Amino acid sequence: MHADKIAVLFFLGLTLLLSGCPDSSTTVDDQGASVSDFDWQMPDWVPLPVEPAYNPITEEKFQLGRHLFYDTDLSANGTISCASCHQQDKAFTDGVARPAGATGDIHPRNSQSLANAAWLRTLTWGNPTLTELEQQIVIPLFGIDPIEHGISEANQNQVLARLQAKPAYQRLFLSAYPDQTEPLFNELAWRNIIHALASFVRGMTSFNSDFDRYTAGDSQALSAAARRGMNLFNSERLECFHCHEGYTLTSSVRDRRRVPNIPAPFNNTGLYNIDGISAYPAPNTGKHELTGQARDMGLFRPQSLRNVALTAPYNHDGSVATLREVILNYAAGGRHLTHGPYAGDGRMNANKDPFIVSFSITEDEISDVIAFLESLTDHAFITHPRYANPWQDDASQDPIP
């Protein structure tokens, strides 16, 4: 065959290839990540949280968990419920520096808000291994250091009997666990209680603040001061956004879309330096309490700032009373305690996060940042009947202490 014929054939083939390019398309399969039978009461743009396969959330479990959450009979001596330290009007915190348990033990750490707990990578201030609500809830119920609800092997049957005696639970447990014949009386009763409590906490969603309305496009939802504060918050000067980012306003976040490939975040904010070589007061040493590693001294999980204006006092031990003081500590690059048992210059803490560097800020700017933080309050969340005490009108139920 002559070269000119080869050339013509080649070009014909090439032209066919080009003219035969298929149309364009992109198919997407999220493997069910955006599907849930549960009404999460949140906007579509928020990705669904991770649920353990062994405890899928249902409305029935959520409602059973709500009853248990507010029930003082779920403690050794009937004096406290979960709601004692997690009160709705305070975004499920308690307003005190460190709460007391059923027997008077003072908890070493400040009560955390439960809003959006389902999205947190780790669930307590300093424990990197607690990643499931079902694991965590066992600690306040059965823990002994400190004693919170005070339930133990010795009294667990007595506590269970109090619950079994309440008519409301007969219906609620059967609805929540329809595949079990006697879910409050069988050997799975405590597991069922824990799974229901976890479902209620997992279902506490808070994405209805002025800030949310602003980011959804309502430019009037934030005041001028709050907008200025938001810009400061997201500025390279203050650096707040690095640890308090995204839709949960914390870098400790996971959801169905994410497979985190870095360790869960824990940060030292320079709050203490009691021995001059970076120590925090025991037992509040953060991640170090579990790992024993010096590099983990004073490392605590970055908190979500949603509803932060309602969750004073602040920091892991409640030792900072106001948001203004929190901002001043960051502005100083840490806290310098000049007297008292924990005196020390936290600004010099060797474990301090690199983003905790001093910055200059005026009083007006502090007010603006606080205005922004106040815009993160979800007023519907703290009054919504869905999260409220279901026993309010039940004369048989003790009032919450």
Partner 1 sequence: MNRFLTLPLALLSASALAHTPPPSTAHRTTVDASLVATWRSASLVDDNAYWQVPGTMMGGHAWPAEKGAQVDEMNLGLSHRIDDDLAGVLKLGSHAGGMDDHSGVELEHAYIVYAPGPWQLQAGRMSAGFSPGLAQHAAERLASEAPLALDVFFGRHFHDDGARLAWQGNQGVSVGAEVWRGKAFPATDSNDGGAWDLFAQYQWQGTALTFAAGGWFYSAAAEARADHRYGGGHQHVPVAPPGQNTAAFPDIRYTGDTDIAGVHAHLGYHLNNDWQLSLQAEWMRAELDGTVHDAIGRQARLDGSQNGGWVQPGIIWRTHTFAVRAERLSTENSLVGPAAPQLATESGLANPDGHVPRRVTALWRWQWRPHIALRAEAIRDESLPAADHRFNIGIVWQQQIWSSTDR
Task: List residues near partner 1 by CB under 8 A.
Answer: 3-4, 6-7, 10-11, 14-15, 17-18, 21-31, 33-34, 47, 234, 236, 246, 253-254, 256-262
Minimum CB separation of residue 66 from partner 1 in Å reads: 28
Tokens read off for 306: 């949603």
Please, what is the minimum distance in Å from the beta carbon of residue 20 to partner 1? 9
User: Which residue has tokens 């004692």?
Assistant: 84
CB of 37 to partner 1, least distance (A): 17
Minimum CB separation of residue 47 from partner 1 in Å reads 8
Closest CA to 317 of 97, 37, 23: 97
* Residue closer to partner 1, measured from CB, 246 or 276: 246
Smallest separation, CB 22 to partner 1 (Å): 5
* 3-class state of residue 223 by DSSP: coil
**Cα–Cα distance for residue pair 314/97, rounded to 1 Å:** 8
The residue (of 245 and 394) whose beta carbon lies closer to partner 1 is 245
Query: Looking at beta carbons only, is 190 or 355 nearer to partner 1?
Result: 355
Neighbours of 32 (CB within 10 A): 9
Residue 341 Cβ vs partner 1, minimum distance, rounded to whole Å? 40
DSSP labels, 158-194 = HHHHHHHT-HHHHHHHHHH-TTSSSTTTSTTHHHHHH
Angle between helices 156-164 and 189-202 (to 10 degrees): 70
Give the Å distances, CA to CA, from 58 to 175, 177, 185, 383, 388. Answer: 10, 10, 21, 22, 18
Under the phi-then-psi rule, with left for phi > 0, alpha for psi from -120 to 50, and beta for the rest, what region is 62?
alpha
Nearer to partner 1, 121 or 316 (CB): 121
Q: Cα–Cα distance between 288 and 297 in angstroms, integer?
A: 5
CB nearer to partner 1: pick between 74 and 253: 253
CA angle centred on 309, ends 197 and 103, rounded to 5°: 45
Dist. CA 94–CA 356, nearest whole Å? 28
Q: CB nearer to partner 1: give 175 or 234.
A: 234
Q: How far is the CB of 245 from partner 1 (least distance, A)?
A: 9
Minimum gap (Å) between residue 132 Cβ and partner 1:
18
Q: Which is nearer to partner 1, 10 or 185 (CB)?
A: 10
CB 226 within 8 A of CB 372: yes
Toward partner 1, which CB reaches closer, 259 or 395?
259
Residue at token pair 């994405």: 207
